[in-house]
Amino acid sequence: MNYRVYRKFKNYLFLALTLASALAVLAPLFMIIQFVLVQGASSLNLNFFTELPKPVGETGGGMKHAILGTIYLVLLGAAIAIPIGVTCGVYLSEFSKSKLSKTLKLTVDLMSGIPSIVIGIFAYLIVVVPLKSFSALAGGIALAIIMLPIIIKTSEEILKLVPNHIREAGLALGLPRWKVILFIVLKGSISNLLTGIILAISRAAGETAPLLFTAFGNMYLSYHINEPMASLPVQIYTYAISPFKDWQRQAWGGAFVLMVLILTMNLIARYILGKIKDKKGI
């Protein structure tokens, strides 16, 4: 075998190994999606979205309370996490050389590696124990802690993409730095920041463990911030481990709805990110 043929052989060999590795990663994902689609889609009907759960022993009912509860908890967590996360992202981007910035960056890195169940226990200790009750507030705080590292990191990276000469132009016009940051840097990056926020929300929407220690779950429709609240992940878990076939069927339906919700949010974020890259020519 001459050297040219040997190089072609190596090229095809590594190309085949790369393709096989990609398929090995994608195959379980597609199998899970297909299985949930088959099991979940057949369990859905109008009652699933409009009715509350039936008492034990009765068939039918739905997950209206869990769907609305998930939206409520995610919005509550986002309301807490977005202002704090974007502010921290701005600080890391604009004052990256300060000592506080280095400490903050290390803290964010550590937070991103903490298991979600530990975050749930933390929220349980600081909210549920003092208030002596599981609540939507505790669930929202737990989800906010999960969202924070993603929002901070994406905000920092997106704001770093703003060219320095834009900041310098604002300062040269006599604007104070806070106005340059707020009305030029931040305002011009709002659509970009939305991508990181959507990714953070989609990550938090699928979390189960922290809600077991905080919002806990509720078989009834509740909008009170100080009461336990139902959510899709916890309701799926509760129904999946129950001995009732109808509840197990509804658990598959809930998993299907949750998966579609998260996939939709991720696709929206990817679409916005793609548009941003096209616009910037990245």
| 24-73 pLDDT per residue, tens | 989 998 898 888 888 888 888 888 888 888 887 777 788 888 889 998 99
pLDDT at residue 279 in the model? 65
Mean pLDDT over 215-236 rounds to 87
pTM for the predicted model, two decimal places: 0.83
Distance between CA 82 and CA 35 in Å, rounded?
Answer: 35
Helix (H, G, I), strand (E, B) or coil at 252: helix
pLDDT at residue 242 in the model? 87
Query: Residue ranges per domain, the chain?
Result: 62-280
* Phi and psi torsions of 45, nearest 5°: -155, 180
Q: Is the pLDDT of residue 191 over 70?
A: yes
Q: How many residues are recorded in the chain?
A: 282
Of 62, 91, 29, residue with least CA distance to 259: 29
Percentage, residues of the chain above pLDDT 70: 97
Tell me the two tokens of residue 148: 């924070």
Distance between CA 53 and CA 246 in Å, rounded?
Answer: 11
Instruction: State whether CATH 3.30.70.141 applies to domain 62-280.
Output: no
